[in-house]
Amino acid sequence: MMSEDETPEDIQTLPLDGWHRAQGARMVPFAGYEMPIQYEGIVAEHEWTRNHAGLFDVSHMGQLLLSGPDLDAAVEAVLPIDLSTLKLGRQRYSLLLDENGGVLDDLMVSRWPEHLYLVVNGATKWDDIGHLREHLPDDITLNHLEDRALLALQGPEAVDALARHTKGEQSLSDLTFMTFGQFTIAGHDVTIARAGYTGEDGFEISVAADAVEEVAALLCGEPEVKPIGLGARDSLRLEAGLPLYGHDLSPDTSPIEAGLVFGINKRRRSPVDQGGGGYPGAERINREIVEGTSRKWVGLALDGRLPAREGAEIFAGDTQVGTVTSGGFSPTLGHPIAIGYVDAAHAEIDTALEVQVRNKRLPARVAKMPFVQHRYFRGS
Amino acid sequence: MSRYYTEDHEWIEVEGEAATVGITDYAQEQLGDIVFVELPDEGAELEKSKDAAVVESVKAASDVYAPISGTVIEVNSALEDEPALVNSSPEEDGWFFKLTVADESELEGLMDEAAYKSFVDGL
């Protein structure tokens, strides 16, 4: 009843590989690496993260450091970001776009004292590096931090568990959503950002690859923390309405269709003669911001228990009006949820639609996203 | 009464001219949390090794194949309300469907419990 996953020959291992296996993880190939899909079970891990704190190994992601003369101007020629408003200690979501405004990747950009630090998706990092190298001036240095691992600690109790181990000039609890700082954990230098991919409060911890096992073990020694696999990472981000590159975003989608207009910073949206534009795909994207798009990325809530998954066709009556790009069962809500692109005429909240799963048409309703409320810490 | 196993991790228990089909403990363990089971219609004619049911876990949809050919005579309606029975009791309460044994010789190629156990140990 099951087909075994094909194992490509060039599959690589991450620094925590042995540790995951010792924790009872089931490992699968993902983004070119052996990664843990689950430990005790996806639903249990999902619920643990929503209620306590989950530790995710996201070391497959690319950590890049950029430096050089006129760095901001050089990076603004490649990304639709306004770096003049990105202050030291802050990070921001941005998009790597092709000349047509299609999405090559989504990423985080952080302002370090002398550098910009980027975190890009694991499956796309080699292409991203090639793209950046090609489009950035030669005097901009791009350093791929392959000797760094990346952990995410997510959930309402993450701050308590992590604060027991961090030392730094500032207190961990001073960090607010989308800010970062330098700390030490057990004497190891770490960069900690208050951010994540679950909709919960939480942190992302960049640490030397040769120290990551010690840090992971310390954190999982806390009563609030359990290791969490990729399966729950996907169901958590789906409930949080966050797109997954390669599924919800691709070169065939524009960020405006995907509702990511915030990824095009305000100054960059102006017409070129008013100082806007100047990034790949600006013409199409700035036009879409004004005129709207013919399709939109929407959330769908389904009745019953049968999930609609990526590729499922969305119907209004007998007419196909869209396609599901991500879908699954929501452990928090107890029913299936999905995300997909539909014709703009059918994108209003509460629009009744149907989704085809095998030989069944399942009733679905356009739902507000996020499906489960974000609980980011924006300051008290 | 004898129970047989397939390489696709279904079990089939034959009792006279009828047989009960489910998935093995190993299978449910691999699939993880099961949220929906799509069962065949009663009266459906199943063909050996062809699609018979679909198991939806949190992770993915997986096909379940008919271990032998036959006509579906009963489905486990308890799975509609409680698909997690497949996780908690895969080889008893979490059975999928019963069918007639159309051709007894189709059982010959299946494994017995000992053979299935060593098959799983080798995976």
Instruction: Nearest by CB to B58, from A1, A43, A306: name it.
Output: A43
Q: How far is A29 from chain B (nearest CA, A)?
A: 14
Average pLDDT over residues A297-315: 96
* Amino acid A2: pLDDT: 47
* Amino acid A272: pLDDT: 73
Over pLDDT 90: what percentage of chain A? Answer: 94
pLDDT in tens, A232-291: 999 999 999 999 999 999 999 999 999 999 999 999 998 777 778 999 999 999 999 999
pLDDT in tens, A219-240: 999 999 999 999 999 999 999 9
Q: How far is A334 from chain B (nearest CA, A)?
A: 9
- B93 and A CB contact within 8 Å: no
* Amino acid A3: pLDDT: 44
Average pLDDT over residues A153-162: 98
* Amino acid A9: pLDDT: 60
**Residue A331 DSSP symbol:** T
Q: Tell me which chain A residues have a C-beta less than 8 angstroms from the C-beta of B36.
A: 304-307, 329
- A231 and B CB contact within 8 Å: yes
Same domain, A53 and A176: yes
Minimal Cα distance from A305: which residue of B? B36
Q: Tell me which chain B residues have a C-beta less than 8 angstroms from the C-beta of A46.
A: 58
- Optimal mutation site among B35, B54, B62, interface A, most CBs of chain A within 10 A: B35
Tokens of A209: 């690859």
Q: How far is B79 from chain A (nearest CA, A)?
A: 11
- B49 and A CB contact within 8 Å: no
Chunked in runs of 10, what are the mean pLDDT values of chain B (123 residues)? 93 95 96 94 96 93 96 97 96 97 94 96 92
CA distance A10 to A32: 7
Kindly state whether residue A261 falls inside one of the protein's structural domains. no
Q: Strand A62-67 relative to strand A141-144: parallel, antiparallel, unpaired? A: antiparallel
ipTM value greater than 0.85: no
- B107 and A CB contact within 8 Å: no
Kindly state whether residue A352 falls inside one of the protein's structural domains. yes
pLDDT in tens, A189-218: 999 999 999 999 999 999 999 999 999 999
CATH of the domain at A331: 2.40.30.110
**Is pLDDT of A365 > 90?**
yes
- B38 and A CB contact within 8 Å: yes
Are A305 and B61 in contact (CB < 8 Å)?
Answer: no
Strand partners, A96: A105
Q: Tell me which chain A residues have a C-beta less than 8 angstroms from the C-beta of B65.
A: 1
Confidence category of residue A10, pLDDT binned at 50, 70, 90: confident
Neighbours of A160 (CB within 10 A): 16
Same domain, A231 and A164: yes
Which CATH code is given to the segment(s) B2-103? 2.40.50.100
Same domain, A153 and A56: yes
Average pLDDT over residues A46-55: 98
Same domain, A356 and A235: no
Kindly state whether residue A77 falls inside one of the protein's structural domains. no
Same domain, A27 and A167: yes
- B54 and A CB contact within 8 Å: yes
What residue numbers bound the domain in which A173 lies? 17-61+147-239
Average pLDDT over residues A150-163: 98
Same domain, A233 and A350: no
Same domain, A203 and A311: no
Are B9 and A2 in contact (CB < 8 Å)?
Answer: yes
For residue A370, cis peptide bond before it (omega within 30 degrees of 0) = yes
Are B10 and A37 in contact (CB < 8 Å)?
Answer: no
State how far Cα A317 lies from the chain centre: 34
Minimal Cα distance from A45: which residue of B? B33
Average pLDDT over residues A110-121: 97
Are B61 and A309 in contact (CB < 8 Å)?
Answer: yes
**Which range is least confidently modeled, A93-102, A272-281, A341-350?**
A272-281
In this structure, are residues B37 and B94 in contact, taking their beta carbons and an 8 Å threshold?
no
Same domain, A151 and A57: yes
Are B35 and A231 in contact (CB < 8 Å)?
Answer: no
CATH of the domain at A33: 3.30.1360.120
- A37 and B CB contact within 8 Å: yes
Same domain, A51 and A177: yes
Instruction: Nearest by CB to B59, from A1, A231, A306: name it.
Output: A231
Kindly state whether residue A202 falls inside one of the protein's structural domains. yes
Same domain, A231 and A304: no
Q: Tell me which chain A residues have a C-beta less than 8 angstroms from the C-beta of B59.
A: 37, 42, 231
Tokens 């949190």 appear where?
Answer: B58
How many domains, in total, are found in chain A?
A: 2
Over pLDDT 70: what percentage of chain B? Answer: 99
Confidence category of residue A380, pLDDT binned at 50, 70, 90: confident
* Amino acid A4: pLDDT: 45
